[in-house]
Amino acid sequence: KTFFVDGLKAQFPDSRVFKLDIGGLLANGGQSVDPEKLRSLFSELDKIGQKERVILVIDEIHRITGIGQGQNSLAEQLKIPLNNPNVRVVGLTTKKEYDMYIAGDEALVRRFHPLYFDPLTKNDILTILRGEANKIMNEVRQDGLKIQVTAEALELIAERASEFIPRRNAPDVHVDVLDAAKAMLIRQIKNGSKETIQKRTELVHIKEEIKFFENQLSFNPDDVDSKKQLATLEKQKLEIENQLRQGGQPVTDVETQLNEVRAEIEKQQRSQSVERFQKILELKNQESQLVEKMKSQDLQVKSTVAKNGVLTVGKTEVAQAISSFTGNAFPIDVILGTDSERIKGYKDYVSKNVIGHERAKQIISDTLKIENANIQKKAPHQGVYLLDGASGNGKSTLAEKTAEALGRQFERVYMTDYRNAADVWKAIGSSLGYVGNEKGGRITNIIGENPRLVFELAEFDKASTEVKDLFYQAFEHGFIEDGRGRRISTKHVMFFLTVNTSADYLAMKKGSELRLNFEIQTLSRAGVAEEDVKRMSEVERTQQTMEQLQVEKGISQALQGRLTANMATDALNYEQAKDVAKIMLDNTFTKHLLIKDSVELHFSKALIEEIAKYGYDPKYGGRSLRELMRDGVAKALADLKSNHGDFQKGDILNIDIRVENFGSTDRLEFIAERNGNSSERAISQVDQAVKYAIEEQAKTSRAAVAESNGQIGKPRGESTKERVKFELAKPGRKGK
């Protein structure tokens, strides 16, 4: 809109175009109009208007409606030049602010003819970018360099700038990205690539550490630890210096060298040494040479990017600029659309870290590949997956590991915090004019700060209808409108909705009469006849029953229709519990100690089996495994360290388990031993109720849950109570 003023000047060269500064007319801290300034303005406009045509441009014209009161308001006063035949007034504002501030003043509306600026097309933006690129390529620079902008770079800006920087408007954002890409390229020519700068920074840190340990040794020449540290640092310093030289880069840039020389000059000036004068003279010569080198640096091309004095702004430079505008929330490969390797390796990564949920993994993997292939219209999000099943069965872990596999930020919000209708303001922030509106809402802030997010909405069914409607808007249109009316884009957010609405139903044995009776009862409430239920396949019955249970818990069919996938997740079985226990032990203890102390940690097969056996609970899943690890493994390791000293680099720790029975209680002894030395050992004890066979326990739990909830009819031939009693009487695993 602002460029429109320049267009008016060019279109009407015989007219005088003035741009009104509203701030210059105000008094009393912006609360009222300065009458003297206003009279002077009108008088000047009228005088000039009698000789030639005057065009008065008022930017952000909506501001005039809130200044002053009654007949003395700025809006009323400005109606004077609007009635002057010698003056044409052009007001610039946005559609939203026009509707909010101006449309209500009918007298003001009558005096204007509204003209709407349509959003620019891609061709319009490319035309503007080509004009800006021509200016850059025709620029005569003092350093003699010429800058070329490729057509592919302009295409990428036109396609991706607004997509990844949605809060900025076209064409401003596109021009800014082009300018930033040019500036970053020139900066790289002077200082080296981002990787080079990082290496030099790392080198500075290492040099400071070397000086520190050299000083330590000057006080204590026999300090073995300082000698080891010094040797390691010297080796790292040499490696980085070699890497810089091999890449054709100086070890330090000219500015750093100059600072080092000047620091050494100051040091010598404070010195009492006889040779200091000679050293200062030599250093002064070095300083002069480096100053000259800095002056001529702009005339030299030190990067392989520059050839024959020409720098090229290509797709990579544009992607770097867009990434920097997003605070590096979007990596370069994502902007270039070359993150296929992450997507290709997604399923392998999550399969190693998440046990079960094979169907969910496959659906997410397929959706990512389809989205990346760009063979259909883009969705208003990057996937909305509803996972329904028992607590602790790995739904949240799947969401977390999805974020890790794709290199994205992960956030979790518990929707129990948004149970009430009024809680919608906690989510999106309060409206303008209310105290604290500048803080924004929790959910809109999370998405605004991390636009490329994997977002878990835990216990989604617990949210109020108003809060669910917010997400309906995001799933349907690709944005959430915050309390101040700003649109927060969700186009690059991947949503995981986790619920337990069907947990009891999904725990029932597939194909059983118990499960079929429950499905018939549930779907009858949705108007489905018993005969139709029986004709359905097992998969179809499960899906429809689960969806009906979700509807009854407040997840509407309309919202279900906006999901990418609505998936059932099964509870862990014993074999899966063992795999989960191993992964949790490795992630919690093994990797941590290896990285922190360079210590190896080994768990016996028996320990993993017993943790899975005693920690497994069909109702709470993996959460009870974590509690047993804390009470047993963590305590044994802590006691070992407390009683026998800190772990040393190269130590090997072994953790085993021994189980003793005391009637109705089993005692689990977790034994931690260092380097196979029985004298360096710690034992922690955890008492647990005697566990029956895993499968029997699971069956018992399912039947008991079903009966206690009153959700199913009793199976024919025996009461539920009798069946539970019968299962408990069966012999346990290993004679227990």
Length in residues, the chain: 736
Q: What value does the mean pLDDT of the chain take? A: 80
Q: Residues 656-679: pLDDT tens digits?
A: 988 888 777 888 888 888 887 777
- Domain C-terminal end among 499, 518, 541: 499
357 occurs within a structural domain: yes
How far, in Å, are 145, 320, 566 from residue 311 at the CA level? 7, 16, 51
Residues 450 and 359 in one domain: yes
117 occurs within a structural domain: no
529 occurs within a structural domain: no
**Phi and psi dihedrals of 55, rounded to 5?**
-120, 120
Q: What value does the mean pLDDT take over residues 452-478?
A: 91
Q: Which of 340-344, 434-438, 541-545, 662-666 has the highest mean pLDDT?
A: 541-545
What's the CA gap between 674 and 656, in Å, rounded?
12
Q: Which two tokens stand for residue 686?
A: 């955890």
Residues 348 and 495 in one domain: yes
pLDDT band at 76 (very low <50, low <70, confident <90, very high): confident
Q: What value does the mean pLDDT take over residues 49-63?
A: 84
Does 589 score more than 80 pLDDT? yes
216 occurs within a structural domain: no
Q: Which of 177-181, 204-208, 213-217, 674-678 has the highest mean pLDDT?
A: 177-181
Does 72 score more than 80 pLDDT? no
What is the full DSSP assignment across 419-431?
Answer: -SGGGHHHHH-PP
Q: Give the model's pLDDT for residue 222.
A: 85
Q: Give the model's pLDDT for residue 30.
A: 61
Q: Give the model's pLDDT for residue 432.
A: 58
Provide the number of structural domains found in the chain: 3
Domain hosting residue 495, numbered range: 344-499
Q: How many helices (H) and strands (E) does the chain have?
A: 34, 18
454 occurs within a structural domain: yes
Q: Residues 131-150: pLDDT tens digits?
A: 999 988 888 777 667 888 99
Residues 495 and 603 in one domain: no
Q: What value does the mean pLDDT take over residues 444-450?
A: 86
Does 218 score more than 60 pLDDT? yes
- Domain C-terminal end among 110, 127, 157: 110
**Lowest mean pLDDT, pick from 116-125, 261-270, 318-327:** 261-270
Burial grade of 388 (CB within 10 A; 0-12, 13-18, 19 or more): buried
Residues 485 and 606 in one domain: no
Domain CATH code at residue 12: 3.40.50
Q: What value does the mean pLDDT take over residues 279-290?
A: 79
* Exposure letters 166-199 (e unless 16+ CB within 10 A, then b): beeebbebbbbbbebbbebbbebbbbbeeebeeb
Residues 495 and 364 in one domain: yes
More confident residue, 271 or 532: 532
What's the CA gap between 508 and 244, in Å, rounded?
63
Does 263 score more than 70 pLDDT? yes
Residues 495 and 594 in one domain: no
Q: What value does the mean pLDDT take over residues 43-53?
A: 83
695: nearest Cα among 509, 513, 549: 509
Does 440 score more than 50 pLDDT? yes
- Domain C-terminal end among 499, 522, 556: 499
528 occurs within a structural domain: no
Residues 444 and 349 in one domain: yes
Does 294 score more than 80 pLDDT? no
Residues 472 and 360 in one domain: yes
Residues 463 and 604 in one domain: no
Q: Give the model's pLDDT for residue 522.
A: 92
Residues 367 and 456 in one domain: yes
Does 249 score more than 60 pLDDT? no
Q: Which of 119-123, 224-228, 464-468 has the highest mean pLDDT?
A: 464-468
Domain CATH code at residue 658: 1.10.8.60
Residues 495 and 353 in one domain: yes
Q: What value does the mean pLDDT take over residues 642-651?
A: 85
What's the CA gap between 650 and 675, in Å, rounded?
9
Residues 377 and 476 in one domain: yes
319 occurs within a structural domain: no
% of residues, the chain, pLDDT over 70: 84
443 occurs within a structural domain: yes
Q: Which two tokens stand for residue 614?
A: 């005693």
pLDDT band at 475 (very low <50, low <70, confident <90, very high): very high
Domain CATH code at residue 381: 3.40.50.300
